[in-house]
Structure 1
Amino acid sequence: MSERSPGSWGPSPRSVSRGESESTSRSEPSPIRDLLVIFLVVYVLQWITALFGLGVMTGLFVLSPPIDARPWTVVTSVYAHGGFGHLLSNSVALVLFGWPIARATTRLRFHAYFLATGAVAGVSQIVVTGLLAMVPFLSIAPTPGVLGASGAVFALLGYLLASNRLSDSFASVIDVPWWVSIGVFLVLATIVTLATARPRVALVAHFTGFFAGLIAGRAGVLESDR
């Protein structure tokens, strides 16, 4: 997500049995393919609307304050991108991190998770930077606008890390309190966020997405039997 001016990896066996997973992957179209098509269609629409003026494209696809002025951008911004490189990097990450999860859950759950985490990540970027900009001794500028699927992609990565077989094996041996898990997740989210830091990158959105993914993965929210 970017700022914009106005043999053991994979979900654990507890998520779904192998037979159920294979059956789901055969009977339902892939949500990964769905999202790649949506990314491309939205990218083309961005180009088309930009021909009528940058303000038109921004008003349709860029999440910017005040959020309630254009509430639809909470959704559309998740699937929009700031350039072809942005689109390509998120598409590659989606395939890498999303494919194992998509095979172990339903199409509807995957899409709902992707949209929800992406929207929350985008809104958090706008809200948190806006609040921090009000603190006198902090030289932080509010985010003028944000778009991209990075927050949702980071949520997929977090889910994959927290719900894989290795994590489950560790948790089954050592009874880790929830407050310790949350503390570890916060540290991990901070490290991953700082590792991706560069100009015009929505770091708050990355942090929020990854942290939400870790919590969701530990809770197993995408388990098919829930």
Structure 2
Amino acid sequence: MRATLETLAIVCLVGVVQAGLSVVGLAWVFALSTPLSVAPWTVVTSVYAHGSVGHLLANAVGLLLLGPLVERRTTRLRFHAFIIASGGLAGVAQVILGGLAGASPAVLGISGAVFALGGYLLAGNAVTTTLFDRLRLTPRTQFALFAALAVVLTLVTAAPGVALIAHATGAFVGLTAGRAGVLDAR
């Protein structure tokens, strides 16, 4: 659980710094929003920052449930890179696609990466691999299946104020990465 606990420690540390900065009105420096070129560092910092203690705790539970299972299959470096890449991509998708649908609020949280961890476990296990290999689905069909599954997972776990696009993006990234075995240290 080393990488999972390290990730959780980073989340907590960023939360403390964020609380300190909020006293002087600078908590926004961690939030990802458009245009991305104004504060590009927020693609990473937004993954570790959260809107409230409850938000942090909810994501921490998901991270503690899924993180160790993915960790068994990969290296610490790959785990951390996957958290940053999947969480950052999920956040970017949320602010860009959300902006196309209307107002694009700033986004915070590691939930996109947590959905990616879940997707990785779902698509990258031996049972799923055997099933997909036997079904011989085309890459296009797998892509469509993963997109549909990402939407279903997102809708099942949806709640008011949740970054639905980020969750769906994270799940899709995790599903495709799991099928490809990108984290497996073989």
Same fold (TM over 0.5): yes
Deviation of residue 172 (structure 1)?
3.3
* 1:69 aligned counterpart, secondary structure: coil
Point out where structure 1 has 5 or more consecutive residues left out of the alignment. Answer: 1-28, 134-141
Match of 2:107 among 127, 141, 146: 146
After TM superposition, list the pairs within 5 Å mapping 1:47-86 onto structure 2: 47-53=19-25, 56-58=26-28, 60-86=29-55
Match of 1:177 in 2: 138
Match of 1:216 among 171, 174, 177: 177
After TM superposition, list the pairs within 5 Å mapping 1:13-162 onto structure 2: 30-53=2-25, 56-58=26-28, 60-133=29-102, 142-162=103-123
* 1:148 aligned counterpart, secondary structure: coil
In structure 2, distance between residues paired with 1:171 and 1:126: 33
Deviation of residue 100 (structure 1)?
1.0
Give the letter aligned to residue 133 of structure 2. S
TM-score, structure 1 as length reference:
0.79
Point out where structure 2 has 5 or more consecutive residues left out of the alignment. Answer: none
Q: Deviations over 1:180-207 (max 9, x none)?
A: 1111111111111112222211111001
Q: Which has the larger radius of gyration?
A: 1
In structure 1, distance between residues paired with 2:133 and 2:68: 25
Give the letter aligned to residue 161 of structure 1. L
Deviates more, 1:195-204 or 1:33-42: 195-204
Superposition CA RMSD, Å = 1.2
TM-score, structure 2 as length reference:
0.96
Relative contact order higher in (CA < 8 Å, ≥ 6 apart): 1
* 1:104 aligned counterpart, secondary structure: coil
Q: Deviations over 1:138-194 (max 9, x none)?
A: xxxx22210000000000000000001210221233222111111111111111111
Aligned length: 186
Deviation of residue 224 (structure 1)?
1.2
* 2:37 aligned counterpart, secondary structure: helix
